[in-house]
Structures are given as structure tokens and as C-alpha cells.
Amino acid sequence: MDHLQQEFSVRFSYPVFFTDDLFNPANLLFADFFNASASTIRRKLLFVIDSGVVEAHPQLVDSIRAYVTQHLPALDLVDDLLLIPGGEVAKNEPDAVETIVDAIDRYGVDRHSFVVGIGGGSVLDMVGYAAAISHRGIRHVRVPTTVLSQNDSGVGVKNGVNYRGKKNFLGTFVPPVAVFNDSTFLTTLDDRDWRAGMAEAIKVALIKDRPFFDWLDSNATALAHRDLPAMQYLIHRCADLHLKHIAGGDPFEMGSSRPLDFGHWSAHKLEQLTNFELRHGEAVAIGIALDTIYSAQLGWLSQSDADRVLALLRTLGFALYQPMLDANDSADVLKGLAEFREHLGGQLTIMLLTSLGTGVEVHEMDDERVRQAIVQLKRTEPQPA
């Protein structure tokens, strides 16, 4: 039978800026972005802010109001700046998405307007999702405030919320129109969040970028001691690698290409087994350690290289053993492999290391070898004094 073939491409483009003190009246970066696309149409700005960020930066809302009044006279600030709770647990609450969608409706935020999300990855995921489904897509701008969101999730193209307890069950692939990475927000992170965000940088360095791994290794002590310029470099380089991976691959994951998920099969499971007391980056650090040891056990990675990885993670302050790893003879954590297979749609794909900076995909993991890696991980973990 005859048919018509539809074919088209859609181009996506967005800048990722690196700055500090974004809403300081002397910093015109944010204003310049909006003013560059001047329009005869009145456009609105709806801000949605992580309530934890406002606690750490109590002047933020006033600063935004003053900044928009002074520098963005052509835009209408929605007077009601929304504050929503952050953190992974917040993503289980459909209320936040509904709150944002309702504000878009109530304040007439149309397809020429902008929703600006300020916060950690969870808040940005929810803001991006609410913007993506309202009016078939309102432009959204991200201001990530954590290491993890500035170097990884916040510069990418995904959004989502949990649904019936399933992580990111609802979501879309929709890029932001701009990302503003403001390092001032990093100064008020607690130590756990400062540290946890670095796990994704180590991950991407290990599978893609040996010189970056060497840099991390050389700067581990500075990073552990909260050296801000070192962290700015880490974020810039990690974000760059993440952006290139997206652009060079299959941005909306329409084929079988997979995201950069070294160390993630056990990490996802450990987060869940600890009721998310373990933060994502903390779980990823353990997952990296486990799959690094596994790679060494296979003889693919030298023991000295594996030791370097573990030493780096420990210098940065990560705890690499968690009791859930060997609870129930590790049967619980090994369920993570089956779930990861299901998540990937039936075929398991796991990244392992053949050298520092080189990842390779495999399609099976041996349960017994995973157990041995867990034993080794536990044995090498420094005991509390």
C-alpha cells in the first residue's frame, strides 16, 4: 500500500554560562540573555525556587525582584515567586508539579514566556517537567545550585518526577533554553552535597578522560577542603564532557544508546535500599568503587589503577562500604542488576573499565564475582577508630 514518509529535524541550542553572584546588580549576564531576544510581545518570568536554597540565601527573593526591576523592564515578573521543597524525596510528591502548572495557568505564563528554576537537581527536574507539559512546552531556564546539578543533570536534556514511588517514571526530554551555573550557591552547600556531586565527575573521567582523572587525583585534597576554584574547574570540565556526550550521541535516547551510567546499577539500588538516606552521588561513589574492583578482578584493570580510584574516592571523603551491600548475602543489591536490565528494556548493558579513562560495555555480570568485589570493598574500607 502507498504511504507518505514524514521526515524532519529539530535543532536545539542553549548556552551554559558559568558565573557567580548571578543576581548582583553589577552582573549583567542574566539580563543580557533575555534582552538579547527583545520582543514586541510582553513576556513573563515565573521563578520557582528550591526552598532549601532560600533558607541558605534569605536575600535571594528580594535580590531577584530588584534585579528584574532594574535590568529587565521589558519582562513582567510574576509577583508570586514559588518556593518548593527539594531533594529526591520531594520528587515523590506530585503536588509540586501541580503547583507549578497551576501557577503557569493562573498567571497566564504563555509560550513566549519563561519559567526559571533555581535549585538542586530534584527541583530542576520538576520545574523542567512542569514547563515541558504546560502549553506543550514553556521555555525554561535552569539555575542549578548544587555540584551535581551544575556538572551533570542541570546541563542536560532530561526532566522528570517519581510516580507511584518509581524514579523518574514521568518525564520528558526537553532541553532548557539556558543554564546559569552560579558558583556562589556552592559556598553554602553542606559537606555531603559538596562531596556527592563530585562522583559524576569521577565517573565521566574514568570512562572518557584520563587527563581529567589525573587532574582530579592531583587536586583531591583541595577539592576535599572546599577549594572553590578547583571545584569551578571540575564543574566546567564535567559539564563540557556531559554536553558533548549528549550532542554526539542520541540526545533523546530514541535508539538503544545509553546514558553515561558507569557505577549506576548498584547505586540506584543502594539509594532505594537506604530509603534515599544515601544521596545519589554517595551511592554512585560506592557503585564506581564496586565496578572498578570488578574490572580489576577480571584482569581488565591493573590493581594499582583500581587502588588509585579507591584512594581518590576516599581522599574526597566518600565512604565506600554500606551495610546494605552484603545484607541478605548481597541478594538485595544484586536485584539491582535485574532492575537495571528491565530499565534498559531487556538487555543488560554495564560499563566496566579497561584502563583509567576507558570504559567498555558488557552485557552480563557474574553474581559471585560481584559478591567477591563487595567482600574486597568491605575489607579495604578503613575501620572507624
Binding site for its own copies (CB under 8 A): 1-19, 29, 40-42, 101-102, 105, 108, 110-113, 132-137, 155, 158, 160, 163-164, 166, 168-175, 236, 239-240, 243, 246-247, 251-254, 342-343, 345-347
The conformational region for residue 317 under phi > 0 = left, psi -120 to 50 = alpha, else beta, is left
Q: Choose between 157 and 220: whose C-beta lies nearer to its own copies.
A: 157
Q: Choose between 133 and 373: whose C-beta lies nearer to its own copies.
A: 133
Q: Choose between 30 and 318: whose C-beta lies nearer to its own copies.
A: 30
- Residue of 127, 110, 100, 119 whose CA lies nearest to 44: 110
Residue 169 grid coordinates: 517514571
Q: Choose between 298 and 348: whose C-beta lies nearer to its own copies.
A: 348
To its own copies, the closest distance from the beta carbon of 259 in angstroms equals: 11
- Residue of 105, 213, 197 whose CA lies nearest to 147: 197
Name 82's bridge partners.
48
φ, ψ of residue 138 to 5 degrees: the values are: -95, 140
DSSP string, 67-81: HHHHH-TTEEE-S--
To its own copies, the closest distance from the beta carbon of 246 in angstroms equals: 7
Q: Choose between 173 and 276: whose C-beta lies nearer to its own copies.
A: 173
Q: Choose between 64 and 155: whose C-beta lies nearer to its own copies.
A: 155
Q: Choose between 18 and 276: whose C-beta lies nearer to its own copies.
A: 18
To its own copies, the closest distance from the beta carbon of 352 in angstroms equals: 21
CA distances from 121 to 85, 125, 189, 200 (A): 11, 6, 13, 13
To its own copies, the closest distance from the beta carbon of 155 in angstroms equals: 8
To its own copies, the closest distance from the beta carbon of 273 in angstroms equals: 21
Cβ count within 10 A of residue 276: 17
Q: Choose between 41 and 385: whose C-beta lies nearer to its own copies.
A: 41
CA distances from 349 to 19, 257, 264, 340, 344 (A): 37, 10, 11, 8, 8
To its own copies, the closest distance from the beta carbon of 298 in angstroms equals: 24
CA angle, 185 then 126 then 147, to 5°: 30
User: What amino acid occupies position 149?
Assistant: S
To its own copies, the closest distance from the beta carbon of 360 in angstroms equals: 20
To its own copies, the closest distance from the beta carbon of 39 in angstroms equals: 9
Spatial neighbors of 150 by CB under 8 A, at least 6 apart, are 144, 181, 183, 186, 197, 235, 239
